[in-house]
Amino acid sequence: MLRKIHVLILALALPGMPAFAQDDREFTEEARRKYAAELREATALVKDRQYAGAQEKLDALIAARPREPRARFIKGVVETEQGRTDAAMAVFRALIEDYPELPEPYNNLAVLLAQRGEYESARLALEIAVRAAPDWSVAHENLGDLYARLAAAEYARAAKSDRDNKTAPAKLVLVRDLLAKAAPPKPKSP
């Protein structure tokens, strides 16, 4: 299973994201410090799963600096956590349009696409993320997981179309076993 949406909001320093995006307005050092403090507060709310409060802060931050990618990225994570997949995908796509060099929006979009079964689109997004950040293990792992899912689908097709084929079903079992073992454990109910 592809890893959960990438959330680097704890450190607030996404590897490829600029500290402050350029826009038409100048901001004083004090305004930058205040913005960064409010972004940390929004991040803490997300970490505590207080999404309504985080959403409110993020919307205010985005209104103040509409091109700044970190608040927008975190908003995409919040949308995802609240099950608003279409809204999250729109956020990540807008970030990709504005900042095509950033790997994180591609990765998160790919995870959402894969959850919908749109594996080919997810593969393309992950390949871009890997090119943008060749040393980023999260994107590489997600791409490997996706390739395993694609392999399973192809082995299943081969086994179904040729009942005499003995290797495809065996490979399908191996890949499915691999995917099942790699899946994180499900939380237990109290």
Q: pLDDT tens across 93-147, in order?
A: 999 999 999 999 999 999 999 999 999 999 999 999 999 999 999 999 999 999 9
**CATH T-level assignment (fold) for domain 29-146:** 1.25.40
The secondary structure of residue 9, as a DSSP letter, is T
Of the pLDDT bands very low, low, confident and very high (cuts 50, 70, 90), residue 182 is confident
pTM: 0.80
Q: How confident is the model over 61-86, as pLDDT tens digits?
A: 999 999 999 999 999 999 999 999 99
- pLDDT (mean) for 159-170: 91
Domain range summary for the chain, segments of one domain joined by +: 29-146
As given in the structure block, the two tokens for residue 110 are 């790919």
- Please provide the average confidence, as pLDDT, over all residues in the chain: 85
Amino acid at 187: P
Please report, to the nearest 10 degrees, the dihedral formed by the alpha carbons of residues 109, 113, 115, 118 taken in order: -160
Residue 70's nearest CA partner among 111, 10, 19 is: 19
